[in-house]
Amino acid sequence: MNRETVNNYKKIFIYFLFYMALYACVIYFNFNIKYLLFNVGLSFIPYLLSSLCVNMKHKGLICVPITLVSIVFYPNTIYMFTDLIHIRSREFYSYSGGEMVYVTNYLNWVKLGVMVLLVVLSLVLCFESFINILKIIRCYKYKFASFIMLILFSALSGVAVYIGRFLRYNSWNIFQIREIINYLVLNTTYNDYMLIALFSAVHFVLILMFANLKSN
């Protein structure tokens, strides 16, 4: 087992350990955010599958379906940032006599911290999955090819996040792709296109930010 493979397994272990720690907090304090645990669990699917292919000594045809499944579930990783809408301001401050009064109950702030960390974990898995896929298709370290793939994945993620958040489809609804496409062609408005562009831009900038951090 080479050094890169060992490091990959270490990262998987650390990310999973971090996830389990956050999972324990949600269960212990009985926070009503178990849906976030499920969503992060979906984010692990493309990361674990793509890591499996990257760590294979002899990559063959078996990597094709594994990579395709990784790509199908990939948008779940960036979808998590939209879950920040569930943060309720009334849990952290209120107005009394025209003045803002902050809630000092520590559990409210623990809940906020757990929510943010779950989203951050999912976004980290987004970057890791993207890098893994670049390695599988042999684009990694080729700047122009990587940039083209980033544009394609940003567009894919933007459409997928829109479909997931507003049309309420999931990754396993991929077999209804004709129905989904028909809906998009017939019903998408200017505002919907702007939402898709926004989600695509978030993915694009996020990957570039993580890439810059990694290069330093």
Closest CA to 207 of 195, 163, 67, 215: 215
Q: What is the pLDDT of residue 58?
A: 66
Task: Output the average pLDDT for the chain.
Answer: 91
Where b means 16+ CB within 10 Å and e means fewer, 197-210 reads eebbebbbebbeeb
Whether residue 75 is predicted with pLDDT greater than 70 in this model: the reply is yes
Residues of the chain with pLDDT > 90, as a percent, come to: 64
For residue 127, give its domain range. Answer: 3-215
Q: What is the pLDDT of residue 1?
A: 64
* Domain count for the chain: 1
- Of 54-63, 117-126, 204-213, the poorest mean pLDDT is in 54-63
Beta strands in 97-197 (DSSP E): 99-102
The whole-number average pLDDT for the span 109-121 is: 95
pLDDT tens-digit readout, 36-73: 999 999 999 999 999 999 888 666 778 889 999 999 99
What is this structure's pTM?
0.91
